[in-house]
């Protein structure tokens, strides 16, 4: 299930802060790739895909980014606007991403190397796979968790 994760925050106002996360601790995968999106005009929609197997941790070190996650049955909105908060996204969730503030930076740590074959870029295909039980993981259809 997707969930918001609050990272440890080390430091103080005088010297600033440091946050971190580690493979197989805050996230249940080995981080194999990190990418980031930036200089995205406010209001532009990105994402619009799901992944067959890829797991992700997304965070916004500066600015504000909105994620709308869809498990094939219901949608939930998550706001990333704190440098010490991340959103864990399990396999099989459609995501729509909106940059809400100029200069926002979106960072993503993921469980595998880039592979276009893992992407589902058609919502109809996503819905068909979801309804067929392709991601029939435990709790998949429980209400999407937050906080």
Q: Give me the sheet containing 3-6, strands edge to edge.
A: 3-6, 85-89, 56-62, 105-110, 33-37
Q: Which residue is nearest to ligand TYD (CB)?
A: 46
Look up 51 and say whether it is catalytic: no
As measured in angstroms, the least distance from the Cβ of 12 to ligand TYD is 34
Q: Rule CB under 6 A: is residue 114 a binding residue for ligand TYD?
A: yes
Q: Give me the phi and psi of 68, to 5 degrees please.
A: -110, 115
DSSP of 89-125:
E-TT-EEEEEE-STT-EEEEEESS---GGGEE--HHH
Question: Which residue's CB is nearer to ligand TYD, number 110 or number 144?
Answer: 110
CA–CA separation, 137 vs 134, rounded Å?
A: 9
Q: Which of residues 31-60 bind ligand TYD (CB under 6 A)?
A: 33, 35, 37, 46-47, 49
Active-site choice (9, 49, 76, 82): 49
Spatial separation of the C-alpha atoms in residues 7 and 5, rounded to whole Å: 6
Of the pair 9, 31, the CB lying nearest ligand TYD is at 31
For ligand TYD, the closer of residues 18 and 34 by Cβ is 34
Positions annotated as catalytic residues are: 49
Binding site for ligand TYD (CB under 6 A): 33, 35, 37, 46-47, 49, 114
């Amino acid at each position: 299930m997707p969930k918001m994760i609050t990272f440890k925050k080390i430091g103080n106002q005088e010297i600033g802060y440091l946050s971190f996360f580690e493979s197989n601790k805050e996230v249940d995968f080995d981080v194999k790739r990190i990418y980031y999106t930036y200089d995205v005009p406010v209001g532009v929609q990105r994402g619009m895909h799901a992944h067959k197997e890829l797991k992700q941790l997304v965070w916004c070190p500066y600015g504000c980014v909105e994620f709308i996650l869809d498990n094939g049955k219901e949608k939930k909105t998550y706001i990333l606007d704190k440098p010490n908060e991340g959103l864990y996204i399990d396999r099989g969730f459609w995501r729509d991403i909106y940059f809400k503030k100029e200069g926002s930076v979106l960072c993503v740590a993921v469980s595998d190397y880039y592979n276009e074959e893992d992407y589902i870029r058609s919502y109809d295909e996503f819905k068909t796979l979801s309804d067929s039980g392709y991601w029939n993981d435990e709790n998949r259809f429980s209400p999407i968790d937050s906080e």
